[in-house]
């Protein structure tokens, strides 16, 4: 595996560099735009928004939408805010991410280091799972969960996320391990190391970067899922996205856009945090693995 390095042999002149910075900054602005709209509207009173000032800075600054979204906004019949749902999401996301990542790592290991017949086809079949539209599987999934007695339980929800996460986690680890020198595995085998020993002692210690990638990817997807959370979670265990949706969507009630935006940012904070904290490892992980053949 290549060692991480931002060194490049390409040399650029002064004019080109100015141009580069200009383009990069323009794109930074482009990416910031919706966040600006959300932030600026989350700190102004509702009357300013419905009065037409959606793009301007607040005339009166207020943090009330934020406290309201977190603590007192009406989600169901009770005005609990988003706070209790936060933990529901955590309880679902952590096991689902852990299990799908572990399975992905094992699958990747088997598919690259233990070649057997049809391994490529099997991998292809698993990868195709990524492309299933979730709306399609809703009803058969409900049937299966009902039969298993897992309907309306967090366990059931974790199972669903694991199933549809395997495709990608396997893809990441397979591509990563494909670049891992097979000679090391063979050598360990000759030394009498077993299947799990090789995985544990040789592959796992250098799997840090790709694990970061996989965890970020799974965390984002599962945290942001709405459809499965709404359909398969019990009423008192609904995840954050369902609560956010309940906060934001109202057919015939007054829409408090400022609270909506504050809530949206709150709901996204864990994923944002993951991206910002783990972002640098993220590129490193992608570099080390998934994009190397």
Partner 1 sequence: MMMKSLKMTVAALALSAGAAQAADVEVLHWWTSGGEAAALNVLKQDLEGQGIGWQDMPVAGGGGTEAMTVLRARVTAGDPPTAVQALGFDILDWGNQGALANLNELAAKEGWDDVVPEALQAFAKVDGKWISAPVNVHSTNWVWANKSVLDANGIAVPTTWDEFTAAVETLKAAGVTPIAHGGQAWQDATVFDAVVMSTGGADFYKAAFVDLDEDALGSDTMKEAFDRMAYIRANVDENFSGRDWNLATAMVINGEAGFQMMGDWAKGEFLNAGKVPGEDFLCFRFPGTGDTVTFNADQFMMFDQGGTVSSEQAALASAILSPSFQIAFNKVKGSVPARTDVDGSDLDACGQQGMKDLAAAASSGKLFGSMAHGHAAPAAVKNAVYDVVTAHFNGEYDSATAVQELVDAVSIAQ
Partner 2 sequence: MAMADVPRGQTKASAPEKDFRTKLQEWLPKLVLSPSLALVAIFVYGFIAFTIYLSFTDSRILPFVGADGQPTYDLIGFANYEKLFKLSHWEIALTNMAVFAGLYIVVCTAIGLMLAIFLDQKIRGEGMLRPLYLYPMALSFIVTGTAWKWFLDPGIGLENIMISWGWESFTFDWIKNRDYAIYTVVLAAVWQTSGFVMAMFLAGLRGIDNEILKAAQMDGASNWNLYRRIIIPQLRPAFLSAFVILSHLAIKTFDLVIAMTGGGPGRATELPATFMYSYTFGRNQMGIGASSAVIMLMTIAAIMIPYLYAELREKK
Site for partner 2 in 39-98 (CB under 8 A): 52, 54-55
Q: Which does 98 bind (CB under 5 to 8 A by kind): partner 2, partner 1, none?
A: none
Q: Which two tokens stand for residue 20?
A: 């580069």
What are the angstrom distances between the C-alpha of 44 and each of 70, 100, 249? 16, 41, 20
The DSSP letter of residue 237 is: G
Q: Give the whole-angstrom CA distance, residue 212 versus residue 201.
A: 19
What track of x and - describes contact with partner 1 for positions 205 through 244 (by CB under 8 A)?
----------------------x--xxx--xx-x---x--
Nearer residue to partner 1 within complex by CB, 113 or 260: 260
Q: How far apart are CA 259 and CA 252, in angstroms?
A: 17
In the complex, what is the shortest distance from the CB of residue 90 to partner 2, in angstroms, rounded to a whole number? 16
Is 16 among the residues that bind partner 1 (CB under 8 A)?
no
Interacting residues of 139 by C-beta distance below 8 A, sequence separation 6+: none
Among 77, 136, 190, 254, binds partner 2 (CB under 8 A): 136
For residue 44 the two structure tokens come to 């102004």
Q: How near is the Cβ of 66 to partner 1 at its closest, in Å?
A: 17
Using CB under 8 A as the criterion, what x/- string covers residues 181-200 for binding partner 2? Answer: -------------xxx----
The residue ranges of DSSP E strands in 58-151, in sequence order, are none
Q: CA-based diameter of the chain, in Å?
A: 75
Q: For the CB of residue 64, give the shortest distance to partner 2 in the complex, in Å.
A: 18
User: What gap in Å lies between CA 211 and CA 209, rounded to an integer?
Assistant: 5
Binding site for partner 1 (CB under 8 A): 47, 50-52, 73-79, 138-139, 141-143, 145-146, 149, 151-152, 227, 230-232, 235-236, 238, 242, 245-256
């Amino acid at each position: 595996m290549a060692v991480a390095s931002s060194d490049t042999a390409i040399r650029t002149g002064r004019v080109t560099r100015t141009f580069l910075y200009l383009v990069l900054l323009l794109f930074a602005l482009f990416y910031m735009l919706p966040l600006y709209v959300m932030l600026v509207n989350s700190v102004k009173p509702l009357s300013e928004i419905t009065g037409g000032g959606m793009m301007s800075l607040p005339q009166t600054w207020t943090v009330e939408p934020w406290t309201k979204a977190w603590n007192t906004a009406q989600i169901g019949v009770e005005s609990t805010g988003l706070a209790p749902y936060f933990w529901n999401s955590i309880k679902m996301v952590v096991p689902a991410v852990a299990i799908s990542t572990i399975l992905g790592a094992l699958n990747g290991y088997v598919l690259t280091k233990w070649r057997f017949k049809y391994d490529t086809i099997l991998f292809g079949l698993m990868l195709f799972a990524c492309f299933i539209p979730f709306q399609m599987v809703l009803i058969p999934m409900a049937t299966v969960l009902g039969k298993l007695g897992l309907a309306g339980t967090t366990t059931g929800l974790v199972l669903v996320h694991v199933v549809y996460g395997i495709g990608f986690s396997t893809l990441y680890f397979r591509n990563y391990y494909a670049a891992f020198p097979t000679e090391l595995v063979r050598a360990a085998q000759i030394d009498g190391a077993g299947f799990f020993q090789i995985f544990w002692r040789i592959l796992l210690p250098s799997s840090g970067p790709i694990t970061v990638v996989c965890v970020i990817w799974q965390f984002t997807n599962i945290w942001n899922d709405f459809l499965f959370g709404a359909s398969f979670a019990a009423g008192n265990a609904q995840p954050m996205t369902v609560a956010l949706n309940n906060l934001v969507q109202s057919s015939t009630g007054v829409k408090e856009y400022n609270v909506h935006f504050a809530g949206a940012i709150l709901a996204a904070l864990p994923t944002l945090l993951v991206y910002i904290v783990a972002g640098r490892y993220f590129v490193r992980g992608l570099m080390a693995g998934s994009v190397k053949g």
